[in-house]
Amino acid sequence: MTTTLTAPTLSAEERCDRCGAQAYVRVLLPGGADLQFCGHHWSRHEEALRPQAEEIIDETHRLDAAPADGTDQPQN
């Protein structure tokens, strides 16, 4: 399992599979399935999903970053 902390790969159009808020985490599962979560739902399901994940793209650090141009406002 790999956690990626590079340039954002999740756009503002990506939505949490649980609530529809902006997704900041993508979990890639065996067989190619993926799940997307807002920060809140990732914190609720992380413990159960982390051992099963092939890859986790975690951009929750962006929730604390203030956008320079007022776009891509964090929502979750």
Quickly tell me which residue has 């929502």 as its tokens. 75
Residue 71 belongs to a domain: no
Q: Would you give the DSSP letter of residue 6? A: S
CA 60 from centre of chain: 6
Mean pLDDT rounded to a whole number for the chain:
86
When divided into structural domains, the chain yields a total of: 1
30: pLDDT strictly greater than 80: yes
Backbone angles phi, psi at 3, to 5 degrees: -105, 125
Is residue 46 situated within a structural domain? yes
Asked, for residue 52, whether it belongs to a domain, the answer is yes
Q: Higher confidence at residue 5 or residue 54?
A: 54
Is 3 contained in some domain?
no
Q: Is the pLDDT of residue 76 over 90?
A: no
Q: Which helix (H) or strand (E) holds 56?
A: strand 55-58
pLDDT band at 24 (very low <50, low <70, confident <90, very high): very high
Q: Which domain holds residue 49?
A: 10-63
Residue 70 lies in a domain: no
Asked whether residue 51 is domain-assigned, the answer is yes
pLDDT value for 9: 84
For residue 42, tell me if it sits in a domain.
Answer: yes
pLDDT in tens, 34-71: 999 999 999 999 999 999 999 999 999 998 876 666 55
